[in-house]
Structure 1
Amino acid sequence: MKKIIITGATGLIGKKLSEELYKSGYQIIVFSRDSKRAKDVLKKDYEYVDWDHRNSSKWADKISDSDVIIHLAGINLFAKRWNDEFKKEIITSRKETTKTLSDVIKSSLNKPKLFISASGVGYYGDGGDEILTEDSPAGNDFLAEVCKVWESEASEVESVGVRRVSIRTGIVLSTEDGALKRMLLPFKLFVGGPIGNGKQWFPWIHIDDIVGIYKFAIENENLSGAVNAASPNICTMKEFAKTLGKVLNRPSLFSVPKFALKFAIGEAGDVVLMGQRVSVDKLLSSGYKFKFENLEVALMDLLKKKRA
């Protein structure tokens, strides 16, 4: 039975991923700043460890005793309006935790075989209509800088022979949290529509597929480095909104203009207005089979589950 440590297990991806891995026979060890709260949230028979990245002496031995580390922890980008202080928190929450994990992995006598760290398609900045592969250059905006720092710290484990996978996640579709949940209410009130001019690429991915990609990375040793994680059939924001309206039997007429979005959430609005036309050829050539490639089918599946 493989032992898998997961940070950020109470988040959108973490909850679903830990449950799926547990069902598959893996032993789950949850690293959390508040292990009691994590146990209350997850309500599963996992091992829970208090995790303070500033004091590794309390949990370093768990690293030596594990097979895989999955690092999902990081402060929510949209928890509050961006200012210099909060932007520093965003970078610090990813850089310092990843660096500490990498350092402990490197110094462990019995090293895990694999370190998977989250990242995002925001790595590329606003890519326009360019097809973006894992070899495409990073952008030069704030979120791109966050992703670069994140991946750089994770890649340090490669120096001691540990396989590293940084999953550049697209926009995860789930009715529990994220972009889809926030878009449902306006559509139900007949005032839904695209954000911005609608021409930006929208690299969506069903929650089941992002979980499947993490599991695939664990079980396929040929996958390493940065990996784009989005549907093979991404679409524009306008196409996404139109399809969501169709599934909900609602019109998609009322776009959210750029100035209104910027007024509502400030600089973070730039992230929503950017687009990334990412290629997932690396993932496909490695053998991953998507469960949901068609947007309409994906949305119908998610919304059916919500009504059930």
Structure 2
Amino acid sequence: MSMRILMAGVSGFLGTRLVDRLTSDGHQVVRLVRRPPRTPDERQWKPSAAELDPAVVADADAVVNLAGAGVGDKRWNDEYRKLIRSSRVDSTTTLAITIAGLPAEDRPAVFLNSSAVGWYGNTGDRVVEEDSPAGEGFLADVCRVWEAATRPAEDAGVRVVRLRTGLPLHRAGGMLKPQLLPFKLGVAGRLGSGRQWLPWISMRDWLDAAAFLLDRDDLAGPVNVVGPNPVTNAEFTKELARQLHRPAIIPIPALALKITLGGFAHEALTSARVLPGVLSRAGLTYHHPDLPTALHAALTE
């Protein structure tokens, strides 16, 4: 069934691709933007000031929020940490409170809100699914308040899905893009010990999961949007080097990461052995269930 979907975060790495996917599926996407609208499908809002016209939300069958400053885009300092947190919490709070304030008959049926596997913190070799508690660390703390900000919509009876996204693979962005040049130059290798687990997912499977969750009115709460077979950083490095036909023999020490990445170095070395419990039990079919096929798609499609 075709839906009118209100979406925030439309210009980001995932948002631009999800807009294309939902539009190709026959849905109408209305884009929330912070600047004055330039096209008929745009609506302005100011999440930092909690400004959003309730009528814009009342027109929607579903709301999707992917807004948030990129965690790997800049070196972390205190100011950027505040932006990472506020850009997520302000947008989520504004949408959730606006949804809750509408008459019941005007509320959207579903609110898909971005979150991240950072919720779990450092899990080491321990496997975690959606019922695992929040971990420790900056991103875990951000995820905790980020997810809590959806509560007004949930309390109002709207189906809320919290997308605990892993590491979507695509050559144009995310964790993969900055690695390509060093690998092609033969000056790359595992990060730190290489024993940390990476919860990757192919871009196609991430998009499939988002569309799947919009349609499944029996699914709510946290959902790990990751592939079914996480790998260690050492395994990821080896496979990427194989597909690029380059060596990967220069490990990057933890100290060097801390010097170049600042606060983000801790997160880059975090181990998250996350499984997609909800999606697997719900029957989502993965087009790229293993890393070799996912990386091949990321590098060629």
- TM-score under structure 1 normalisation? 0.93
Alpha carbons of 1:265 and 1:106: their partners in 2 closer, same or farther (altered >3 Å)? same
For residue 116 of structure 1, report the CA deviation from its aligned partner. 0.6
Alpha carbons of 1:54 and 1:187: their partners in 2 closer, same or farther (altered >3 Å)? closer
For residue 203 of structure 1, report the CA deviation from its aligned partner. 0.7
Contact 1:27 1:46 in 2 (8 A): no
Q: Deviations over 1:255-302 (max 9, x none)?
A: 111000100010111111001101212211112111111211111122
For residue 77 of structure 1, report the CA deviation from its aligned partner. 1.7
Corresponding position of 2:80:
86
Contact 1:18 1:28 in 2 (8 A): yes
Alpha-carbon distance in 2 for matches of 1:226, 1:148: 11
Contact 1:187 1:250 in 2 (8 A): yes
Instruction: Say whether 1:179 aligns with 2:175.
Output: yes
What does 1:124-139 align with in structure 2 at a 5 Å threshold?
Answer: 124-139=120-135
Q: Secondary structure at the match of 1:116?
A: strand
Question: Quick one: percent identity of the two aligned structures?
Answer: 37
For residue 56 of structure 1, report the CA deviation from its aligned partner. 5.7
Contact 1:222 1:286 in 2 (8 A): no
Q: Deviations over 1:137-179 (max 9, x none)?
A: 1112110000011101113311111000001010111111111
Instruction: Say whether 1:246 aligns with 2:242.
Output: yes
1:28 aligned partner, one-letter code: V
For residue 197 of structure 1, report the CA deviation from its aligned partner. 0.8
What does 1:120-199 align with in structure 2 at a 5 Å threshold?
Answer: 120-199=116-195
For residue 59 of structure 1, report the CA deviation from its aligned partner. 2.5
Alpha-carbon distance in 2 for matches of 1:166, 1:115: 8
Corresponding position of 1:42:
none
Contact 1:56 1:104 in 2 (8 A): no
What does 1:280-291 align with in structure 2 at a 5 Å threshold?
Answer: 280-291=276-287
For residue 95 of structure 1, report the CA deviation from its aligned partner. 1.2
Q: Deviations over 1:164-217 (max 9, x none)?
A: 000101011111111111111111111221111100001111111111111000
Gaps of 5+ in 2: none
Q: Deviations over 1:104-142 (max 9, x none)?
A: 000112100000100100101111011111111111211
1:255 aligned partner, one-letter code: P
Corresponding position of 1:76:
70
Instruction: Say whether 1:51 aligns with 2:45.
Output: yes
Gaps of 5+ in 1: 40-44
For residue 26 of structure 1, report the CA deviation from its aligned partner. 0.6
Alpha-carbon distance in 2 for matches of 1:208, 1:219: 17
- TM-score under structure 2 normalisation? 0.95
What does 1:203-218 align with in structure 2 at a 5 Å threshold?
Answer: 203-218=199-214
Corresponding position of 2:219:
223
Contact 2:69 2:87 in 1 (8 A): yes
Q: Deviations over 1:34-88 (max 9, x none)?
A: 255xx6xxxxx87011121255665321101101100000112233322222212
Corresponding position of 1:29:
30
Alpha carbons of 1:54 and 1:297: their partners in 2 closer, same or farther (altered >3 Å)? closer
Q: Secondary structure at the match of 1:61?
A: helix
Corresponding position of 1:268:
264
Alpha-carbon distance in 2 for matches of 1:287, 1:264: 41
Alpha-carbon distance in 2 for matches of 1:76, 1:243: 26
Deviates more, 1:48-57 or 1:124-133: 48-57
For residue 13 of structure 1, report the CA deviation from its aligned partner. 0.8
Paired positions, count:
298
Please provide the CA RMSD for this pair: 1.5
Q: Secondary structure at the match of 1:29?
A: strand
Deviates more, 1:52-61 or 1:139-148: 52-61
Corresponding position of 1:304:
300
Instruction: Say whether 1:108 aligns with 2:102.
Output: yes
